[in-house]
């Protein structure tokens, strides 16, 4: 009987304390994740500093890579990411999945599998297939500087080895090779309080490439079969530490006389609720893509960090 009485006393008390604790649990839910007090801790770099994942698998925005190393691993840590992205411009859809591993905020290795669906093109030209896939294996090394803590911007060099897996259509429009390797020279700087006391992200990349539409339409062409060094830039503002508003511009080669290739632009919003998840939505303007003009549309990308 005594035990029952005590139990009766304890249970309401516990309930009461749980109810009282609930608001504080709610308030602290985010902070505990941010603290990364869970072990093993592998995400010590600050929120957003791992960037999102580009459609080619390298850390960056949506179409322009940044010098940042993927994930949140600091110089004594490792990190990994996985991502899935989707772009729809009406006549084309691009699906990308992939992941990365990074070591000591120094080296980033990544892989991305792209699938471009081109139903409109298939119908217009009576093509035998309706999609082109490409696999990209990349490595990036941070050469010097730190995104935040040094005056020098973070400088990285990256290589992206691309293999087009459905070369039939690219070959038919004049592409020379089914594989190619882009080299990226990238500088990125986060200026604390740089714009209206908001943190300002500035990024420039020079890409040594001969890839047509990132390689989905092969490499090199009848008009130009040489590698070129092309500029890509992006900039963003962190409204607070969770929300990044930005824009990107990527100059493109124009190697094929049969199909014109335009430069790409995006305007994006990135949401980084914590160091595990990032979600990016963008409006993209890809210009003319393989005979279809004004390819504008939406981009969504989800990234998980481990």
Binding region for another protein (CB under 8 A) = 31, 34-37, 39, 41, 44-46, 74-77, 105, 146, 148-151, 192-200, 231, 233, 235, 239-241, 247, 249, 251, 263, 265
Task: Show Cβ contacts of residue 110 under 8 Å, excluding neighbours closer than 6 positions.
Answer: 53, 57, 58, 59, 70, 98, 99, 100, 101, 136, 137, 138, 139, 140
Q: Which of 97, 50, 106 is nearest to 75 (CA)?
A: 106
Pick 84 or 141: Cβ nearer another protein: 141
Least Å from the CB of residue 304 to another protein:
20
Rg (CA), the chain: 23
Complex with another protein: residue 123 or 277, whichever CB lies closer: 277
User: Nearer to another protein by C-beta: 125 or 235?
Assistant: 235
Q: What is the 3-state secondary structure (H, E, C) of 105-147?
A: CCEEEEEEEEEEECHHHHHHHCCCCCEEEEEEEEEEEEEECCC
Least Cβ distance, residue 6 to another protein (angstroms) = 33
| Shortest CB 186 distance to another protein, Å | 16
Name the minimum Å distance from CB 107 to another protein.
Answer: 15
Q: Which is nearer to another protein, 8 or 241 (CB)?
A: 241
CB of 233 to another protein, least distance (A): 5
Token digits of residue 135: 């696999």
**Residues 218 and 177: beta-carbon distance below 8 Å:** yes
Give 167 or 268: the residue with its C-beta nearer to another protein.
268
């Amino acid at each position: 009987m005594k035990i029952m009485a005590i139990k009766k006393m304890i249970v309401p008390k516990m309930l009461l304390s749980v109810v009282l604790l609930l608001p504080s649990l709610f308030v602290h839910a985010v902070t505990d994740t941010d603290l990364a007090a869970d072990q093993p801790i592998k995400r010590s770099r600050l929120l957003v500093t791992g960037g999102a994942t580009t459609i080619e698998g390298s850390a960056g925005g949506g179409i322009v890579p940044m010098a940042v190393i993927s994930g949140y691993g600091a110089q004594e840590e490792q990190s990994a990411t996985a991502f899935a992205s989707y772009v729809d411009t009406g006549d084309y859809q691009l699906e990308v999945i992939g992941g990365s591993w990074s070591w000591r905020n120094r080296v980033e290795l990544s892989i991305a599998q792209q699938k471009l669906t081109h139903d409109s093109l298939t119908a217009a030209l009576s093509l035998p297939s309706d999609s082109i896939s490409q696999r990209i294996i990349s490595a990036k090394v941070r050469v010097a500087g730190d995104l935040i803590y040094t005056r020098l911007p973070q400088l990285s060099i990256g290589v992206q080895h691309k293999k087009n897996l459905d070369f039939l259509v690219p070959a038919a429009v004049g592409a020379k090779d089914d594989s190619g390797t882009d080299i990226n020279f990238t500088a990125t700087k986060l200026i604390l309080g740089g714009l209206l006391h908001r943190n300002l992200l500035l990024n420039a990349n020079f890409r040594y490439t001969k890839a047509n539409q990132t390689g989905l339409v092969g490499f090199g062409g009848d008009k130009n079969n040489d590698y070129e060094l092309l500029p890509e830039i992006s900039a963003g503002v962190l409204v607070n530490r969770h929300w990044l508003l930005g824009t990107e511009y990527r100059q493109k080669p124009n190697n094929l006389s049969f199909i014109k290739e335009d430069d790409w632009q995006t305007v994006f919003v990135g949401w980084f609720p914590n160091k595990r998840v990032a979600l990016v939505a963008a409006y993209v303007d890809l210009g003319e893509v393989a005979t279809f003009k004004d390819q504008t549309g939406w981009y969504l990308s989800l990234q998980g960090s481990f």
